[in-house]
Each structure stands twice: as structure tokens, then as C-alpha cells.
Amino acid sequence: MKKIGFIGLGIMGKPMSKNLLKAGYSLVVYDIVAEAVAEVVKAGAEKGASPKDVAAKADAIITMLPNSPQVKEVVLGKDGIIETMRPGSILIDMSSIAPLVSREVAAALAAKKIRMLDAPVSGGEPKAIDATLSIMVGGNQADFDEYLPVMKTMGASVVLCGEIGAGNVTKLANQIVVAANIAAVSEALVLATKAGVNPDLVFQAIRGGLAGSTVMNAKAPMMLDRHFKPGFRINLHIKDLNNVLDTAKGISAPTPLTEAAMKMMLSLRDDGMGDSDHSALVRFYEKLAGVEVRR
């Protein structure tokens, strides 16, 4: 069985790496947060000293990092994985980054005969923990087929969406839909509350109809319980929507809903809620309406 390097042990990366260990894969890990590394090492992984060190010990590297600059630094920077990755090895970048950066990194790796898949995920911390993430992949069909079993240890749905960069284009589309859904659920529950109708009963009444969605089922209970501990932080969603808007500008695609959601999230960040779960979008509406959504 191939040895896998895993770099990036945050909210998502830590449970994803643990699921690889549970599936029997040999893992060498690295993160700038020593406590996260120690926790995964305790679960059975080997500790890597740097991205370069991880790459020297592994046949495949998985990265799960915050954004494009961090991916470029870990892959192409000083002590980056490109320095020690062997020809024929592969990078599976599961970070959510700009599609053009995925293509730039892939081209640099290809010059050294190193393969790459961009494979961002959706589902947040709960689905990272129970290995039911949706994984959107860009890259070569043969590479996808070879590493599909690895990705299936972390996700319930793994779909090849096209060539390199297609995974991150798909993730941007996903983040538009998620942001718009959370905003719509927030708007609806604040309307119900302001009109004197129990928002929990509204949720129960509409969740089984056309308005129902995975987003509603996951986020409405958090709003009603005032539970804003992050499964996915507002700051990270802002990062993704920035990538949406930059990409859309480059191809002249209209994004009025994304722009509206972005303004709401930036307002919440200004109010000190950037590290709250994106279900806290309801608080933007509550502030304007002068009400609080509760069961």
C-alpha cells in the first residue's frame, strides 16, 4: 500500500487524515500547528519535519490548506514538496483555491513529471469526521481512477469534473449555492419571527417540500439553537466568495447573489463574527430586524 503524505491538519484536514489512518493507509503528516500534528501522530501517523520532508517519504501528497498562497508556498516555495517529490508521484490538493492557481501549480509539477489532481471538498467538519464529504476533482482520468479508493475513504461522493482546475470551478459553484441558501434560510426565519410565527415550526413545515435542502437541514437547527461554533467559518466562506468573484470577473460571468452574500459576510466579519459558522449569517438579518431567531 502506498505511503501518503498529508499536509494541513486544520478543522477539515485533521479528521480527513484520521479517516485515512482508519482505512489502513500509512501516513506521514505536517502542519505548522504542533498540537494538531501530535494528535494525528497519536492516532498512528508519522511526523514530518517540513513539506519537503513529507514529500521525501511519501508516494502521494494530500494538501488541505486555507487558500491559494499557502498551496503555492507548500508546493513551490522554500522547502516545498516540489524539491523532493519523485517523478511519477502525485499531489492531490484538496484545498479550496482559485482554479488558475491549480493550473499554475500543476504546470510547475508537470515540468518535473509529477502528477496532480485538484480535489476540493464540501460538507464541513461533520462530514469530514464521518467521511461523507463531497469531493470535486479536476485532472487526468487515469490518475483519478488510481486514487479514487484513497479519496473514497474521506468522501461519499467523488466526481471527476474535468481537467485540472475543474474541481475548484465546481467548488466555487458549490459555495455560491451554499451561501445563497444560508442567506435565504436566514431571511425566511427572520421574516417568520418578525411576523410572530414560531420559526422552528416554519422550518418543520417547509423542510419536506421544494424549499427543503441539505443546507437548510444542517444550518436552520444551528440558527434556532444559537449554535455558531464553526463547522465552516465565515472567514473561509469570504475567501471562497473572493475566488468566485475574481474568477467570474475574469470570464465575465454575472454574480449578483454572490455579491450580496459577500456584503453580508463582510459586515459580520466587521462585527467580530468572522470565526463563527456561516450559519451566523442569520445575525445579519436579526440586526436589521431587531429580533432573534429561537426555537
In a domain, 137, yes or no: no
| The pLDDT of residue 42 is above 70 | yes
Q: Which residue has the cell 486514487?
A: 147
Whether residue 171 lies in the annotated active site: yes
In a domain, 159, yes or no: no
Q: What are phi and psi of 223, to 5 degrees?
A: -65, -45
CA gap 98, 75 in Å, rounded: 15
CB 114 within 8 A of CB 81: no
55's grid cell: 514529500
Are 177 and 254 in a shared domain?
yes
- Please state the rounded mean pLDDT for residues 110-122: 97
In a domain, 149, yes or no: no
In a domain, 223, yes or no: yes
Buried b (16+ CB within 10 A) or exposed e, 154-166: bbeebebbeebbb
- Please state the rounded mean pLDDT for residues 6-16: 96
| The pLDDT of residue 284 is above 90 | yes
CA gap 140, 115 in Å, rounded: 9
Are 86 and 195 in a shared domain?
no
Are 108 and 30 in a shared domain?
yes
Instruction: Give me the helices (H) in 252-291, please.
Output: 256-270, 282-289
pLDDT tens figures, 132-148: 999 999 999 999 999 99
| The pLDDT of residue 177 is above 90 | yes
Residue 183 pLDDT: 98
Are 8 and 98 in a shared domain?
yes
- Least Cα distance to 150 among 21, 46, 58, 64 occurs for 21
Average per-residue pLDDT for the chain: 96
pLDDT above 90 covers what percent of the chain? 96
Sequence-separated (6 or more) residues with CB below 8 Å from residue 71:
63, 65, 93, 95, 97, 101, 105
In a domain, 55, yes or no: yes
In a domain, 139, yes or no: no
Sequence-separated (6 or more) residues with CB below 8 Å from residue 38:
none
Are 41 and 116 in a shared domain?
yes
Cβ–Cβ contacts within 10 Å for residue 202, how many? 19
Kindly tell me the burial class for residue 88, based on how many C-beta atoms sit within 10 Å of its own C-beta (0-12, 13-18, 19 or more): exposed
Range of the domain at 108: 3-121
CB 234 within 8 A of CB 278: yes
Model pTM score: 0.91
In a domain, 96, yes or no: yes
Residue 232 pLDDT: 87
| The pLDDT of residue 1 is above 70 | no
Of 121, 143, 177, which marks where a domain is finished?
Answer: 121
Are 174 and 272 in a shared domain?
yes
Q: Which entry of 171, 194, 219, 239 is annotated as an active-site residue?
A: 171
In a domain, 145, yes or no: no
CA gap 183, 232 in Å, rounded: 15
CATH code at 92? 3.40.50.720
Are 106 and 37 in a shared domain?
yes
- Please state the rounded mean pLDDT for residues 44-63: 97
How many separate domains does the chain show?
2
- Please state the rounded mean pLDDT for residues 66-87: 96
CATH code at 277? 1.10.1040.10
Are 173 and 285 in a shared domain?
yes
